[in-house]
Amino acid sequence: MKLSNVIYCGDNLEWMRKMPDEFVDLVYADPPFFSNKHYEVIWHDGAEIRSFEDRWQGGVHHYIEWMRMRCELMHRLLKPHGVLYLHCDWHASHYLKVMLDDLFGQSSFLNEIVWWYENKPQDARKKILPRDYDTILVYAKTYGGQFYAPQYVPTVRPRKQNKVIKVDGRRVSARDENGNVIYEFRDKKMLGSVWPIPYLNPVAKERLGYPTQKPRALLRRIIETSSAKGALVLDPFCGCGTSIIAAQELGRE
């Protein structure tokens, strides 16, 4: 069975069952979110309809069992130092976290990434506490030893600085009138749990028309953070292939 630079079409359960133990460095999984929606898109010339169901008759427990079977396989396929990124949202993230704690072990939990889509127009129907992020649960197969390349983001300078603190003549921080630090003089800071990345707008150049397509910038960040060049990336729910393109651009298989 060819194991790199290949797309297998079909149910990932069947394909992953055929794959050997511990050959993958990074799994990015972006499954149906338990959204109770039917996704459909007329593809390119209008001749083909691409669709998938995210409706679950047996409720959330049925969904979690369906996911558990697949996550068990992802765990088996990961190398000992491999990492899983499971993309989900408020519909089932808490159930998935409990399931993954059980499967990977609580001590293998690395972080819960918040992909904050700062540019997404708010849903006018949702008048109270509008939702504006997805959740990505990150687990190591075994804690420690996994590849990690910290990512940095530029810091934004406040327009108004009331008091600038200097050490040895070098500006260190700026404080507001209450003495709270509002800015530290660094060009960049290490990215933590909250990743502000714009949502793909309907006319974005990279948009292919697939309803749940994720921005390439998000996938590039995941791949750069948790895999070295030449690493092997598996995406069991690849949709229109965002992770595949990002992996190829970054020299991963």
Ligand X SMILES: C[S@@+](CC[C@H](N)C(=O)[O-])C[C@H]1O[C@@H](n2cnc3c(N)ncnc32)[C@H](O)[C@@H]1O
Contacts with ligand X, residue ranges (CB under 6 A): 11-12, 30-32, 52, 210, 212-214, 237, 239-240, 242
How far apart are CB 6 and ligand X at their closest, in Å?
Answer: 14
Distances in Å between the alpha carbon of 220 and those of 22, 54, 154, 233?
A: 23, 26, 17, 12
> Which is nearer to ligand X, 70 or 175 (by Cβ)?
70
Q: Which is nearer to ligand X, 174 or 218 (CB)?
A: 218
Which residue's CB is nearer to ligand X, number 15 or number 185?
Answer: 15
Place of tokens 């092997």: 232
- The set of residues, in sequence order, having a beta carbon less than 8 Å from that of 51 and lying 6+ positions away, is 38, 39, 40, 41
Query: Distances in Å between the alpha carbon of 230 and those of 57, 133, 144?
Result: 41, 31, 21
Least distance to ligand X, CB of residue 147, Å: 21
Listed residue (29, 28, 35, 71) closest to 53, CA to CA: 35
Q: What tokens appear for 61 in the block?
A: 């427990």
Report the residue closest to ligand X, judged by CB.
239
Take residue 69 and report the two structure tokens written for it: 């079977």
To the nearest whole angstrom, how small is the minimum distance from the Cβ of residue 237 to ligand X?
Answer: 3
Closer residue to ligand X in complex, CB, 11/184: 11
| CA atoms of 246 and 249, how far apart (whole Å) | 5
Tell me whether residue 209 or residue 230 sits nearer to ligand X (CB atom).
209
Minimum CB distance to ligand X, residue 122 (Å)? 22
Q: How far is the CB of 245 from ligand X (least distance, A)?
A: 9
